[in-house]
């Protein structure tokens, strides 16, 4: 009898382990100075390790602070040959810099270092130091052909605004090659998706449901988008910042002033097939502010959609996504802010 009960119990457990919530491999880990989550249907440990190794290799190459990284060495005068992967990222970064008139600028390394927003006890830098750092920025001083040369030897490259999106693409492409057809990789504010989540499969829907954080209350969300085979990338003033004399200083800089971008936005989520462009564009649109960002969208240079959250408590979406974005009704009253959803 005891044996029968044990067998029944084993059967129930094995049934559960194949059930709706258990087929996905899920791994939470720290990478590229942020938290990452991988959810992948049918992934084995070797697939998860492969994703981690891919991200680590990208971090080791593009980190602006790791002394052994290619970009760090480049920035510190060792003009090592930038390999094909670097050239791919630089070309994409330069394209977005040109198309956004420097709202996205990958040459702000000296400013990023001076502000040191991710360091201990950051504070507003001295004005002279800021002016000096600002002098050595500007994507127009970078000459790109088969390689890269700088018209100002003091320029420091910084790919913090684009490399997570690139990394999401690179890892998911490898998972696809390994035979995974349904997965989601979140790296900080960048979520790259392939196929369909299990909970949506059960509901007969296609895609993954992504929640957009409410910048007024990070434990809550503004709303949801169900989409797939693309990246959702979010830039905002609420993740990396410090407060001095009641002023918030965040980590996204205006290349024209050297200060954190003064914008009417709290966050921008960009949805784009290419993670590398989703990431670069979310940074750029945040710097532009709402009206310029909507003008940029209307120009049609890139195929993307966006969700904006403004400082005056409005959430609005670009035309192509207005029916896909499902607002979280309770977000309307959070923190006494009367959030207004506009379509
Ligand atoms: P994101 O969170 O993707 O918007 O990227 C922010 C990161 O990109 C910062 O931590 C900097 O490393 C870098 N960055 C800051 N301002 C800019 C800018 N205007 N253009 C490009 N990269 C930037
Ligand atoms: Mg970005």
Which of 115, 142, 251 is the best mutation target for the ligand 1 pocket, counting ligand atoms within 8 Å of the beta carbon and taking the most? 251
Distances (CA, A) of 156 to 67, 71, 138, 170: 14, 9, 10, 24
> Residue 337's pLDDT is what?
56
pLDDT of residue 257: 97
- pLDDT for residue 80: 78
pLDDT attached to residue 221? 92
- Tell me, what's the pLDDT at 328? 87
Q: Which two tokens stand for residue 196?
A: 């369909």
161 lines ligand 1 (CB under 6 A): yes
* Residue ID of nearest Cα to ligand 1 atom 23: 161
Q: How far apart (Å, rounded) are the C-alpha atoms in residues 191 and 213?
A: 12
Dihedral through CA 71, CA 75, CA 76, CA 82, nearest 10?
50
- Give the pTM: 0.91
Give φ, ψ of 196 to 5 degrees. -135, 140
Rounded to 5 degrees, φ, ψ at 190 are -115, 125
Q: Please list the ranges in the chain whose pLDDT falls under 70.
A: 1-23, 330-343
Give yes or no for residue 255 CB within 6 A of ligand 1.
yes
């Amino acid at each position: 009898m005891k044996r029968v009960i044990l067998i029944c119990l084993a059967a129930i457990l094995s049934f559960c382990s194949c059930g709706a919530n258990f087929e996905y491999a899920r791994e939470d880990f720290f990478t590229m100075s942020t938290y990452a989550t991988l959810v992948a249907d049918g992934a084995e440990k070797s697939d998860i390790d492969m994703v981690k190794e891919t991200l680590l290799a990208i971090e080791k190459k593009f980190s602006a602070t790791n002394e052994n990284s290619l970009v760090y060495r480049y920035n510190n005068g060792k003009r090592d040959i930038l390999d094909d992967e670097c050239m791919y990222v630089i070309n994409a970064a330069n394209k977005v810099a040109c198309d956004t008139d420097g709202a996205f600028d990958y040459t702000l390394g000296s400013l990023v270092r001076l502000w040191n927003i991710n360091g201990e006890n950051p504070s507003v830098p001295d004005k002279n130091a800021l002016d000096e750092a600002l002098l050595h920025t500007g994507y127009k001083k970078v000459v790109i052909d088969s390689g890269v040369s700088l018209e100002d030897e003091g320029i420091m490259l910084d790919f913090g605004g684009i490399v997570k999106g690139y990394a999401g693409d690179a890892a998911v492409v490898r998972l696809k090659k390994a035979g995974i057809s349904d997965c989601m990789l979140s790296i900080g504010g960048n979520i790259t998706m392939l196929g369909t989540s299990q909970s949506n499969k059960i509901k007969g829907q296609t895609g993954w449901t992504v929640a957009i954080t409410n910048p007024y209350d990070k434990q809550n969300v503004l709303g949801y988008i169900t989409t797939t085979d693309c990246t959702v990338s979010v830039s905002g003033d609420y993740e990396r910042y410090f407060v001095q004399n009641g002023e918030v200083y965040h980590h996204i800089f205006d290349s024209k002033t050297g200060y954190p971008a003064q914008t009417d936005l709290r966050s921008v989520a960009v949805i784009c097939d290419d993670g590398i462009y989703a990431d670069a564009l979310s940074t750029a649109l945040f710097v532009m502010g709402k009206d310029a960002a909507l003008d940029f969208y209307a120009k049609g240079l890139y195929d993307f959609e966006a969700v904006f959250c403004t400082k005056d408590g409005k959430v609005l979406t670009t035309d192509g996504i207005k029916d896909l974005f499902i607002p979280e009704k309770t977000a309307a009253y959070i923190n006494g802010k009367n959030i207004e959803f506009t379509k």
